[in-house]
Amino acid sequence: MKRHTFWPQGRELYLCLVLMAVILGSGYITYCHVATRIDSECRMPSCSRSTALVSLAFNLEKACIPAGKIYHGGPPKDGIPALNHPLLIPAAEAGYLNPEDRIIGVKMGGEARAYPLRIMAWHECVNDSIGDQPFLVTYCPLCDSTAVFDRRVGGEILEFGVSGFLYQSNLLFFNRRDNPEEESLWCQLMGQAVSGPLSETRLRPLSYQLVTWGHWRARYPDSRVLSLQTGHKRNYDQNFYADYAAQPGLYYPVDHSRNLFDLKEPVIGVRAGETTKAYPFHRMDKQVRRIEDIVEGKRVILERLDDGQVLVESEEGVEFAHSFWFAWYALHPSTAVYDGPGFNLAAWLESRPPEEIQQTAHIR
């Protein structure tokens, strides 16, 4: 007599194994698809998102830029969390940093602080203070642009957050209010409010340096540095903008673009009065280590470091920011370009095609 058992045997066993494989395979494919969509929606921008959504979160009255040019970057208001009163640790305890990691260095009141871009990319705005000086540290990964501002406006100390919106692909942050109608949007590379009650109000820029951690620590061994303990669970080892930085296209169209340099050519942008000027330091003669220039009667000094970074010093009344060329030009289309010792602009122009780059469509 044939003994029956609970467990499938022979052909039944084979069919069960095939069925299980199909179920597990389908589940895995579904998981990968959902995970990819979540990753895309949470991290990567999309030009298809309606710019009209900005009106649901911010007061667009008194806007000094076209509201239709404001793009939704994906994350909602405060979806990218700004850091307030951040935890800073001694340089000796910052073992997570490599010497070549870039940092935003701030030195004031006898104290030096470092804000690594690997953390800034996840938060974009840091509200901090040294002594009685409140300041805002900003980083826009899409423009690789950095700037530091005084947070005091009209005797009030403002606290800023990340809006989730962009103008000319550049970060728009906002000043917090209990009543959202009283909040204004601010453009990083313009250094001013572009909508709301404070529209056209300018923030006072503060001096900073964009250098490597190795250089900063050697120069300021007692510096304090932003800790990984931010209160938010993020993978600060992952640079999810690496692919974007490596390819030539943009995620968002810009109004003004010119092929004088590659779109993502690093430049130092300077503003003095009504004059703006760009310094393409990567294109300058490597033998030239120091450049002194005059912009609107104000002195600007650039000093090239061995690691390829550049120190910037300037007189009072001069604003500067590190940025990709496309972003600086899009927001300052009348900008001049440095033409002096170490860089022959006329010779460079002859080497470039005359056509202007058209507006760049969204590229995945």
> Computed from CA positions of residues 33, 39, 44, 46, in that sequence, does the dihedral angle turn out positive or negative?
positive
Q: Residue 228 above 50 pLDDT?
A: yes
Rg (CA), the chain: 25
Q: Residue 238 above 50 pLDDT?
A: yes
CA distance 32 to 39: 10
The set of residues, in sequence order, having a beta carbon less than 8 Å from that of 115 and lying 6+ positions away, is 103, 104, 105, 106, 126, 137, 139, 225, 226
Q: Residue 6 above 80 pLDDT?
A: no
162, 154 Cβ separation under 8 angstroms: no
Q: Residue 171 above 80 pLDDT?
A: yes
Closest CA to 266 of 342, 323, 309: 323
180, exposed or middle or buried, with CB in 10 Å at 0-12, 13-18, 19+? middle
Tokens of 162: 């990340």
Closest CA to 319 of 300, 293, 343: 300
Average pLDDT, stretch 308-320? Answer: 93
191, 184 Cβ separation under 8 angstroms: no
Q: Residue 98 above 90 pLDDT?
A: yes
pLDDT in tens, 29-62: 434 433 333 333 333 444 445 566 677 789 898 9
Q: Residue 292 above 90 pLDDT?
A: yes
H or E element at residue 73 = none
CA distance 142 to 292: 29
Cα torsion at 243, 246, 251, 252 (round to 10°)?
A: 160
Cα torsion at 190, 251, 139, 328 (round to 10°)?
A: -40
172, 191 Cβ separation under 8 angstroms: no
pLDDT for the residue 258: 84
106, 206 Cβ separation under 8 angstroms: yes
pLDDT for the residue 324: 97
Using 50, 70 and 90 to split pLDDT, how confident is the model at 257? confident
pTM: 0.83
Cα torsion at 348, 350, 352, 358 (round to 10°)?
A: 110
pLDDT for the residue 186: 98
149, 203 Cβ separation under 8 angstroms: yes
227, exposed or middle or buried, with CB in 10 Å at 0-12, 13-18, 19+? middle
Residue 122 identity (one-letter amino acid):
W
Average pLDDT, stretch 311-322? Answer: 94
Using 50, 70 and 90 to split pLDDT, how confident is the model at 22? low
pLDDT for the residue 253: 86
Average pLDDT, stretch 249-277? Answer: 92
126, 86 Cβ separation under 8 angstroms: yes
pLDDT for the residue 239: 86
Highest mean pLDDT out of 144-148, 303-307, 354-358: 144-148
What is the average pLDDT value for the chain, to the nearest integer?
Answer: 86
pLDDT in tens, 328-355: 999 999 999 999 999 998 888 888 776 6
Using 50, 70 and 90 to split pLDDT, how confident is the model at 13? low
311, exposed or middle or buried, with CB in 10 Å at 0-12, 13-18, 19+? middle
CA distance 293 to 299: 6
Average pLDDT, stretch 72-96? Answer: 95
Using 50, 70 and 90 to split pLDDT, how confident is the model at 259? confident
CA distance 11 to 143: 61
CA distance 63 to 55: 11
